[in-house]
Amino acid sequence: MELRKDPITRSWVVVGKAEKPVVAADDCPLCPGHREAGKTLLALPANGPWQVRVIPHLDPLYRIEGDPARTAEGMYDRMNLVGAHEVIIETPEHSRTLAAMSDEEIERVLIAFAMRIGDLKRDDRFKYVTVFKNSGSMAGEEWPHSHSQVVATTFVPRRVLYELRASRDWLTERERCVFCDIARQERRQGKRLVDEQGPYLAFCPYASRVPYEIWIMGEPHNSRFEIPDPTADRRDLAALLGRVLRRLVRVAPAYHMVIHTSPNERQTKGELSGHWRTLADEYHWHIEILPINAINSKSYGIKETYFNALLPEQAAEQLRGLDSL
């Protein structure tokens, strides 16, 4: 397997076939007692039995050792699949979901996200650290046991690159952060707002790609998820995320969640060369949640355009009305 760059869209694509090891269906590798002898990258709380445990992915797409060795093949670019691939086990309990956890437990999961992003950003080879969660079989979750994944890559993922370009242009033209502008308008208008707590807000984006798409972000401005604003309490974020997820599971059987944070500030080459001086001003961390339901798992043929039959204003109104306890 290798990475290849599309010269038109500038997206990196993993090309090749992964070999999947055969695991017995009744054997959950994330349950306590399984592979406990294996490497633990992080366990929280620090003392006593763990609630959150981070381990290397059992079948990693990216390998931590080696050099990305970016080379040209005529006009094209390719790289070795170097990166980090980790699993964040969110609970020792096999059937407990993130939505069912207490604020304190969700906060611990968020702290684990932040600590792994911070740690992996210390590796100069990595341009970006992605934390994501596939919840539910329709979302392509690898194991039913509640977990998230961390992937550190030698490139910036396509969607983040789009966001970086747009936010840099906004900053250049208006001297303001586009994400801060979004947060202000959504709070002021309220019609797409789902919930808020402290400095954090949850809303259905104006151009939602799928029904019940939700973004969570905070004010004031902060580019890095891993370094919380001193005035913000992460417990507020945990409480808000819990309430949002409890509403969401009533309208969708599965969801994708991704943390979008600033790229590695230590990386100044390639796609980040025009950004790194202003990264802290132009980017703003946020959480994107994309629910999956039967309606949007249908193919619409034209994959390049999102088609969302549900107005975000209606989605937000419905979500606001749902019980979040």
Non-local CB neighbours of 299 within 8 Å, separated by 6+ positions: none
C-beta closer to Zn ion: residue 27 or 73: 27
Q: Is 75 helix (H, G, I), strand (E, B) or coil?
A: coil
Nearer to Zn ion, 159 or 250 (CB): 159
Look at residue 79 and give its three-state secondary structure: strand
- Give percent helix, percent strand, percent coil of the chain, each to the nearest 5: 25, 25, 50
* Separation of alpha carbons 164 and 39, rounded Å: 35
Q: Assess 193 for contact with Zn ion (CB under 5 A).
A: no
Whole-number minimum distance, CB 16 to Zn ion, in Å? Answer: 27
Nearer to Zn ion (CB atom), residue 64 or residue 180: 180
CB atoms within 10 A of CB 231: 11
Regarding 108 and contact with Zn ion (CB under 5 A), the answer is: no
Kindly tell me which of 47 and 95 has the beta carbon lying closer to Zn ion: 95
Q: Output the 3-class SS for 245-309.
A: HHHHCCCCCEEEEEEECCCCCCCCCHHHCCCCCCHHHHCCCEEEEEEECCCCCCCCCCCCCCCCC
Residues numbered 151-180 forming contacts with Zn ion, rule: CB under 5 A: 177, 179-180
Q: Which is nearer to Zn ion, 177 or 210 (CB)?
A: 177
Q: Quick one: which of 63, 94, 174, 184 contacts Zn ion (CB under 5 A)?
A: 94
Q: Would you count residue 28 as binding Zn ion (CB under 5 A)? A: yes
Min CB(166)–Zn ion separation in Å: 10
- Report the residue number, 28 or 138, with the smaller CB distance to Zn ion: 28
- Site track 39-58 with Zn ion (rule: CB under 5 A), x = hit: --------------------
Q: Which of 85, 125, 243, 260 binds Zn ion (CB under 5 A)?
A: 260
Which residues does residue 12 pair with via DSSP β-bridges, in sequence order? 5
Point out which residues bind Zn ion (CB under 5 A).
28, 30-31, 94, 145, 177, 179-180, 221, 260, 284
